[in-house]
Structure 1
Amino acid sequence: MELLTPGIGLIAWQALIFLTLFFVLKKFAWKGILSALGEREDEISSALKMAEETRAEMAKLKSDNEKLLAEARAERDKMIKEAKETTNRMVSEAKDKASAEANKIMSDARATLAQDRTAMISDLKKEIASLSIEIAEKVIKRELTSKDAHSNLVTELIGEANLN
């Protein structure tokens, strides 16, 4: 049992060594250990605070990014809409211009056709008049070959002249 119960001298020496070690550690190492622990605690709390700030900043950046994406999508949709409207307007203007040009061409063609028809009718009248005169000359020459036919024609024309 002696092994289980230490002697009083051993306890005294152990207490003396413990207290000496305690005072030496308190005098020289305790402040360093406590300051190191305090610094470590401050570093940990600072790291936790920084992590929390970073997390908050990341959440803010994420919301800002989502907002920017929404704005970019809205701007893209607006640009697409404007481009479609511009395209539709340009197509409409081109159709209107083509229609107006076609109408102008048609009216010019109609005017040209009318002028050509008038010119053709005028030429035809001149040609008919010329042909009529030639035919009349030939008929008169043939019928007026004798003096009696010539007198009869003059008498007939005088009679018609009085009637008109």
Structure 2
Amino acid sequence: MPDYVPPHMRSALNSFESALADFRTQRIRVEQMEVPDTPAVDPEQLAEAARREDAPEKLKAVARAVEEGRATWTDVAMGRAEAAPEVRELFAASGPGIARGMAEAEAEEAQAEEARAGAAPAGEGAARGTRPTTEAEDHDDEDFSERSFLRNGW
């Protein structure tokens, strides 16, 4: 422990550093866990869920879009948010993780279509000034382990 920590703060600092070490250990364990694949969504089950009295309003709105022919339950099950605005709103209401995942899937699908059509050489599917992120960049937080408000790091 650094000498410049006041004696009355040393116990609190030790407790904090111990809790931080426990948190880092748990985070590493979670990152190493294997997550099972989720089962595919059945379009018929979605339609059945939308007909229930207690169905969320966003799901009922998607059911109306399906009845009007602007989307299909297969579109919803496959995550095609571009099928109708109601489908996009349903995914957006499901949480930021789903909305972000849908946006990433749409971007990947657009890049795959461009590659199939030969519209752009590899690596040029993204807009100018942007670059695709790698999986490591998505999951790696900045490492602050070597910095402390007690050290000359900031």
The reply to whether TM is greater than 0.5 is: no
Alignment TM-score, normalising by the size of structure 1: 0.19
Return the index of the structure with the highest Cα Rg: 1
Alignment TM-score, normalising by the size of structure 2: 0.20
